[in-house]
Structure 1
Amino acid sequence: MYAFDTEDGFGYVIPQSDTVVLGGTFQLNDWNTKPVASDTQKILRMCSKAFPALEQIRHGKVQVGLRPYRDNGVRLEHEKTSIDMNVVHCYGHSGAGVTLSWGCAKDVVDIVKTLLPPKSKRPDNLLEHEKLWRLIPNFEYVVLKAKI
Structure 2
Amino acid sequence: MTAERTIVIIGAGVSGLTTGVALLEAGLPVRLVAEEAPGLTSLAAGAMWGPYLVEPRARVRAWSLASLRAFEALAADPATGVSMVSGIEAARTLVPAPDWSSLLPDFRICAPEELPAGFASGYRFTVPLIDMPVYLEYLLGRFHKAGGVVQRRTVRSLGEVEGASVIVNCAGLGGGDLAGDPGVRPIRGQHVVVENPGITEFFSEDTGLSSDLLCIYPHGETVVLGGTAIDGEGGLQEDPETARAIVDRCAEIVPELAKAPVIAHRVGARPTRSEVRVEAERHENGATVFHNYGHGGSGVTLSWGCAGEIAESVSTTAAP
TM-score range, shorter chain: 0.5 to 0.7
Q: Give the corresponding residue for 1:94.
A: 296
SS at match of 1:40: helix
Note the aligned Cα RMSD (angstroms).
2.6
Letter in 2 for 1:41: R
Could you tell me which runs of 5 or more consecutive residues in structure 1 were left unpaired when the two chains were aligned: 119-148
User: 1: distance between equivalents of 2:271 and 2:261?
Assistant: 29
Q: Larger % of helix: which?
A: 1
Partner of 2:279: 77
Query: Which residue in the other structure is 1:43 paired with?
Result: 246
Query: 92-101 vs 57-66, which deviates more?
Result: 92-101
Structure having the higher strand fraction is: 2
Distance in 2, Cα, partners of 1:3 & 1:27: 18
TM-superposition CA deviations, 1:70-114 (whole Å, max 9, x none): 12x211122222332121211111122232223333333233222
Runs of 4+ aligned residues of structure 1 deviating over 4 Å after TM superposition are none
Give the structure, 1 or 2, with the largest relative contact order (CA under 8 Å, sep 6 or more): 2
Question: In the superposition, relative to structure 1, how do residues 9 and 33 fare at CA in structure 2: closer, same or farther (>3 Å)?
Answer: closer
1:60 positional shift: 0.8
Tell me how far 1:56 sits from its aligned partner.
4.2
Match of 1:3 among 180, 191, 204: 204
Contact map agreement 1:9 1:46 (CA 8 A) in 2: no
Q: Structure 2 regions of 5+ residues with no counterpart?
A: 1-47, 49-202
Count of matched residue positions in the alignment of Structure 1 and Structure 2: 117
**What is the DSSP-based 3-state SS (H/G/I as helix, E as strand, rest coil) of the residue aligned with 1:74?**
strand
Structure 1 residue 25 corresponds to structure 2 residue 222: no
Report the Cα distance in structure 1 between the residues aligned to 2:253 and 2:223, rounded to whole angstroms.
Answer: 14
Cα distance in 2 for partners of 1:66, 1:88 equals 22
Cα 1:25–1:8, aligned 2, differ >3 Å: closer, same or farther? closer
Give, in whole Å, the separation in 2 of the partners of 1:21 and 1:76. Answer: 30
